[in-house]
Structure 1
Amino acid sequence: MATANITVIGSLLIEHIFFIDRMPDLGESFPANDYMKGPGGKGANAAIATYRACHGSPATTSVSNDGGETDIKVRMVGAIGKDSEGEYMIEALEQSHVDSSGVRRETGISTGKAFIMVEETDESRDNRLIYTLGANVALTPNDFSTVESLSSGTRPDLIISQLEIDLKAVEMILETAGNAGIKVLLNAAPANSILPALYRYVTHLVVNETEAAILSGCDLADVNHENFEKIARGFLDYGVENFVLTLGEDGAYYANADGLAHVKAFTVESVDPTGAGDTFVGAYAAEYVRQQKAEEPWDIHKAVTRANAAGALTVMKPGGQTGIPWANEINDFMVAATCGSQTGPGGALQDEPNE
């Protein structure tokens, strides 16, 4: 059986989530309906989502490989404080069988924290999020100046990173990995602009509508179906190999040299959208590496569809990591959705790729 290695370099945060009827007005004190605390951070979420997307749930089976002939191992690189919340983060990673040996424990600084408000209305489950990086600021460009530093000597098949750590550190990751020929998936979230010359090192660029607007320099109102191709072509011209735009309830749009398409979302009842984008990234990454190791022709449409399914399952449960699905859950969901409709998963027609 072939073995693949994915390294996630990114943030680890403790999430404090408040469920409310509406967003409070300026200066208003407002009671929450419920509260929960859990592990999170875009880096940690993506690492757990990546592993789960290609392994069966231990609740129903042994943690077996569900990725065909490829066993995908996932390693987390990041920083936490020497505190109880940091150890809580480590436990969460290890419970999902993510290698946490690349997570540093920093002295004199606490583990990062995020505070999230989820609006519970009949119309939506919108959320608002603020965070403090805490120990995540300890990651600097000097930490990623060599290939060995990217994954402690083990050359990964793919590196996943986001922008919830120092921007210059991420740019160094891109440059070091790119010069070594290592594939990189950049989830440019939270939105921030990287040096244009570094896009040529990005194998996969995953952004939402807000991030697409900021990175492309256009107005958010102009990130619409009429302009998706134009925006995508701009990033492809910079050197990005695969561009993916996540659209929430509207699914996702992708483009590369072989074609472009809009993949409709699966229809589910949303409870909490926190972490759905990170789950999308993890499932997409796992499918990409599985296809590469199996020496299959790259099918981005299949990867985006599977990532849509994983993201849909995530929003059905509260918390950034609570709802991240395992491979067997994604498989069962996709089969049930397809069998329940003659028009495609989620009961909505999917656009075919345009060559």
Structure 2
Amino acid sequence: MKKIVVIGEILVEIMADSIGEGFREPMALTGPFPSGAPAIYIDQVARTGQPCAILSTVGDDDFGRLNLDRLRADGVDVSAVGIDPDRPTGSAFVRYRADGSRDFIFNIRHSACGVLPDSAAAKKVLDGSDHLHIMGSSLSSPKLVDLNLRAARAIKARGGTLSFDPNLRKEILSAPGMRAAMSEILGLTDLFLPSGGELVLLTDAKETRAAVAELLDHGVTAVVHKLGAVGVHYHDASGDVFVPAFAVEEVDPTGAGDCFGGAFTALWLRGTDTREALTLAAAAGALAVTRRGPMEGASTLDTLRAFVAGKAKETT
């Protein structure tokens, strides 16, 4: 099977136990949980049985060891994860508000994951990979943008493929050189995985159908438009497929989109029937929100199939 690689942050997530506004008073917290969007994504890839790796840097501390132990146990190649003796592992403190929105305190750019991984180890992993997944949230510095672009060009030049989850805010695109970098990444993309309004963020079009047509005309093979609790709409040259989201009791929404993306990318690379791949990926996203902790709901294919079968029985 093809090997998937992702470049980006590994961090821990620490969650407030009470609903409220911010972190301006002492409160009970639960964690640390292994986290970071690329780490969640690649852990779900590994749980499907797909060969995979992550390039990142962690601190020489228990937060880093917690993450590496989890990723290794689930089957992720972490040989290209550097260990920085001077910077701590990245962190995210999260508190939910009454309306379901969240307050975050991040330590990413100035933590170990802001440092590029060791070049020799990274080159070895990248040379052995067939597919690169790029996440907009990981393009936090010019050096990380450059590393992702160089990896994308190299993998595409030898016949590999690229998936791209933009996960971008409009203001990020105003950073010097960012829009040009995003345009180049999109021009190399085979599988595009935008959420909501991100579909039109990097196109000239302002509505869904025109944006999809523009993306396919520019060389994207498949567009997977994630619509949260509504479901997912898939588009390629042969037509469209819609799969509704599964109804579950939500405990923690963090990581749902990353688990969906990891499951779908692995199945897409295997040539799985589109509707089946979308359904199993939707199951991965649904199960992700039923557990507290961003990576705790990542599931094996057997678990996903059993979940889908159980939901089918409920409707018959």
Q: What do you get for the CA RMSD once the two structures are aligned?
A: 2.7
Q: Deviations over 1:204-240 (max 9, x none)?
A: 111212433533477xxx7xxxx32222223223322
Matched to 1:316, the amino acid is T
- Pick from 192, 198, 201 the counterpart of residue 205 of structure 1: 192
Alignment of 1:138 with 2:133, yes or no, is: no
TM-score of the pair, normalised by structure 2: 0.84
- Provide the rounded CA distance (Å) in 2 between the counterparts of 1:125 and 1:213: 26
User: Where does residue 159 of structure 2 map in the other structure?
Assistant: 181
CA contact (8 A) 1:76 1:102 kept: yes
User: Where does residue 168 of structure 1 map in the other structure?
Assistant: 146
TM-score of the pair, normalised by structure 1: 0.76
User: Where does residue 132 of structure 2 map in the other structure?
Assistant: 159
- Pick from 292, 296, 306 the counterpart of residue 318 of structure 1: 292
CA contact (8 A) 1:157 1:289 kept: no
Secondary structure of the corresponding residue to residue 99 of structure 1: coil
Q: How does 1:228-247 map to 2 (within 5 A)?
A: 228-247=208-227
Secondary structure of the corresponding residue to residue 16 of structure 1: strand
- Provide the rounded CA distance (Å) in 2 between the counterparts of 1:309 and 1:114: 26
Bigger shift: residues 281-290 or 270-279: 281-290
User: Where does residue 35 of structure 2 map in the other structure?
Assistant: 40
User: Where does residue 89 of structure 2 map in the other structure?
Assistant: 111
CA contact (8 A) 1:45 1:279 kept: yes
Following superposition, the deviation at residue 33 of structure 1 comes to 6.7
Following superposition, the deviation at residue 322 of structure 1 comes to 1.1
* Percent identity of paired positions between Structure 1 and Structure 2: 24
- Provide the rounded CA distance (Å) in 2 between the counterparts of 1:339 and 1:283: 23
Alignment of 1:4 with 2:2, yes or no, is: yes
Q: Deviations over 1:123-146 (max 9, x none)?
A: x64434442322222228x959xx
User: Where does residue 302 of structure 1 map in the other structure?
Assistant: 276
Matched to 2:12, the amino acid is I
Secondary structure of the corresponding residue to residue 109 of structure 1: coil
Distance change in 2, residues 1:88/1:190 (3 Å): farther
Alignment of 1:215 with 2:202, yes or no, is: yes
Distance change in 2, residues 1:195/1:7 (3 Å): closer
CA contact (8 A) 2:34 2:295 kept: yes
CA contact (8 A) 2:196 2:225 kept: yes
- Provide the rounded CA distance (Å) in 2 between the counterparts of 1:321 and 1:126: 19
Matched to 2:221, the amino acid is E
**Unmatched tracts of structure 1, length 5 or more:** 56-71, 292-297, 343-355
CA contact (8 A) 2:6 2:53 kept: yes
- Pick from 252, 266, 278 the counterpart of residue 272 of structure 1: 252
- Pick from 311, 314, 329 the counterpart of residue 303 of structure 2: 329
- Provide the rounded CA distance (Å) in 2 between the counterparts of 1:47 and 1:197: 23
